Amino acid sequence: MYSASYKKYNLLFKNPSATSRGVMTEKESWFIIIKDSLNPDICGIGECSYLSNLSIDYLPDYEMKLENICKQINRDKSELFDELNPYPSIRFGLETAFLDIENGGKRNIFPSRFIDGGNGILINGLIWMGSILYMKEQLKEKIEKGFNCIKIKIGALNFEEELSLLDYVRKEYGEKIEIRLDANGSFEPDHAVEILKRLNEFSIHSIEQPIRKGQITKMSYVCRNSPIPVALDEELIGIPLHKQQELLDYIRPQYIILKPSLLGGFSATDNWIALAEKMKIGWWVTSALESNIGLNAIAQYTFLKNNPLPQGLGTGLLYRNNILSPLEIKSDKLFYNPANQWQTDLFLHV
């Protein structure tokens, strides 16, 4: 028999983090903790973590739903997960917690060579919006650390300033640096292709979500006419299983970006990967600003997929009160250092 509880935890950003959707200084998360009545000192932990105004489960009854699921923890698993389809981040957290306790409650969600410490995951360096000077400082820091793939969030500054930043990157660091851009849906559909033509002057690898989600006819047009490969991100959120192939067939993106906590967990992410590979669409996995609890689960899952592209898993250093963990970044790779301990005191006595 299992028992379950949850704990709310506000993650505090070291620096205000800006996208075209706004500036974040903190992020709400909840940890679901599953214990076995026969071994109460062993617990499985999963993170339930939405993004406000983006996740489909950013709802007033979110915490009430989490409490209700904890009370029903011994129900049939498939029934529990089906009930959570409208709450993808809770589904992700519950799936993680079950996998954790089933593997001994040691945060070994997907046992592999990754958690042995010898193999890392190639990741991109993330550049947050801010003043041009601040963005240049981030770029310098990331490149000096060894990152060869840089993801730059755009769409909030004056467009000419953003072009000047890309010009700076190419003049300062040459073509050796791969540039990914993330517009977070900030371009107006009628002007998106012209904007992308100007951005293309700087040898851009891809652009995430150039226009706002839900405009599938216009997104299809952008994908067909953009000189830069387009990656869908927010567009995938909330799409039911029976509509996923139809969406990809119609829009025909070059890439899709997969955030397990926004899509409904690992089994839901597997569905998107299977479709993408069948349709010859590239993909990579990205964290959605989880703490190290969620990031660890996503990293272990991603490692098993053996995707050679840089993944978006470099968010573990964003918070000043993150959960201490074995995760660490060396150069442009994320590693799991088994010599470092997990911070468990927050969870054992809930």
For residue 32 the two structure tokens come to: 């679901």
Catalytic site residue 259? yes
User: CB of 127 within 8 A of CB of 138?
Assistant: yes
Cα–Cα distance measured from residue 323 to residue 11, given in angstroms and rounded to the nearest whole number: 9
36 has which bridge partners? 2, 39
Can you list the positions of beta strands (E) in 20-176? 22-36, 39-48, 121-122, 125-127, 149-153
User: CB of 87 within 8 A of CB of 6?
Assistant: no
Of 103, 86, 117, 85, the closest CA to residue 46 belongs to 103
Cα–Cα distance measured from residue 277 to residue 280, given in angstroms and rounded to the nearest whole number: 5
> Residues with Cβ < 8 Å from 155, sequence gap 6 or more?
19, 20, 162, 183, 184, 185, 186, 187
Helix (H) or strand (E) holding 12, with range, is strand 2-19
Catalytic choice (35, 151, 213, 259): 259
| Burial profile 216-249: b = 16 or more Cβ within 10 angstroms, e = fewer | eebbbbbbeebebebbbbbbbbbbeeeebeebbe
Catalytic site residue 153? yes
Catalytic choice (27, 35, 142, 153): 153
Cα–Cα distance measured from residue 236 to residue 59, given in angstroms and rounded to the nearest whole number: 19
Cα–Cα distance measured from residue 241 to residue 339, given in angstroms and rounded to the nearest whole number: 40
Kindly list the catalytic residues: 153, 259
